[in-house]
């Protein structure tokens, strides 16, 4: 896989299972019973994720129920909802965001 690739999965995508990616992924669909694992992830405002995220960087606009681990920067935008634990190297939370669960910032 090429780490410089840009991929988009839009709101009409419904996935059961795990998605692994090497470059940049914008995900705006639904994920159930799986994980998103990769480098740079943007979770769009229409996304509904019932599963875990493991990424190098994350910008969250949508809804996640699960465990989130981000090695570097995690940004939770005002439209986002996170129910579950979050571990991140750095964290920015915008006004209006909802976070229910434990947060650990490592840097």
Model confidence pLDDT, tens digit, residues 66-102: 999 999 999 999 999 999 999 999 999 999 999 999 9
Instruction: Identify the pLDDT of residue 3.
Output: 58
Residue 1 domain-assigned? no
- To the question of pTM greater than 0.85 for the whole model, the response is yes
Strands, E, within 1-107: which ranges?
A: 6-9, 14-16, 19-20, 24-27, 30-43, 48-60, 63-65, 68-76, 81-83, 86-93, 98-100, 103-105
Instruction: Identify the pLDDT of residue 67.
Output: 98
Q: How confident is the model over 13-34, as pLDDT tens digits?
A: 999 999 999 999 999 999 999 9
Residue 101 domain-assigned? yes
Instruction: Identify the pLDDT of residue 4.
Output: 78
List the domain range (segments joined by +) for residue 25: 6-105
Residue 34 domain-assigned? yes
How many domains does one find in the chain? 1
């Amino acid at each position: 896989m090429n780490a410089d690739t840009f991929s988009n999965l839009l709101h009409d995508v419904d996935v059961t299972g795990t998605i692994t990616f090497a470059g940049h992924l914008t995900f705006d669909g639904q994920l159930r019973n799986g994980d998103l694992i990769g480098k740079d992830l943007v979770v769009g405002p229409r996304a509904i994720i019932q599963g875990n995220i493991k990424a190098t960087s994350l910008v969250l606009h949508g809804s996640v129920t699960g465990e989130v681990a981000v090695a570097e920067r995690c940004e939770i935008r005002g439209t986002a909802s996170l129910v579950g634990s979050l571990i991140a190297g750095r964290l920015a939370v915008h006004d209006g965001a909802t976070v229910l669960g434990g947060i650990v910032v490592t840097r």
